[in-house]
Amino acid sequence: MFKEALEDWVLGYLSECTPEHNNYPRCPYAKKALLDNKVRIDEAESQDEFWNMLEWYLDNWDDDTCEAVAINLSWLFNPNDRIRICDLCTSYYSSKGDWIFIEEQQLLNGKIYHMILVHRFSTMAVAKRQLRKKGYYQDNA
């Protein structure tokens, strides 16, 4: 269910071109990564499972086959816990490697999902520079 909802979000909302992004999609790289099968989508039913899953993905990351990981936090918790978990990921793993963590709460296909997205920091930085040159960001002067 989460996998289908996330795919719909990427192929729909994130792929829509918007005037505020110079008629580029909201997330210009997401659709291609998904269609190229370079997005790993998973669900954790507990904090322990999340941490084990995250460790596995980071230890086994292959830049040739993976651009992003999306993990749904599917246990019952306070939504502020999602932010705390993301902050813990950033403070611990970012100092050990080239990682960026993004927390998201999205209403997808009628259900609220709490997720942590993982990317390579360096890849995101390069993409951001390329998009800035193309006028993707409003502050590009």
Query: Total structural domains in the chain?
Result: 1
CA-based nearest residue to 54, from 24, 92, 27:
92
- Asked if residue 139 belongs to a domain, the reply is no
The mean pLDDT value for 38-59 works out to: 97
Per-residue pLDDT at 11 exceeds 70: yes
Contact in structure between 35 and 1 (CB atoms under 8 Å): no
Q: Which domain holds residue 115?
A: 2-133
pLDDT tens-digit series, residues 105-121: 999 999 999 999 999 99
44 is a domain residue: yes
Quick check: is 138 in a domain? Answer: no
140 within a domain of the structure (yes/no): no
In a domain, 8, yes or no: yes
Specify the pLDDT at position 141.
45
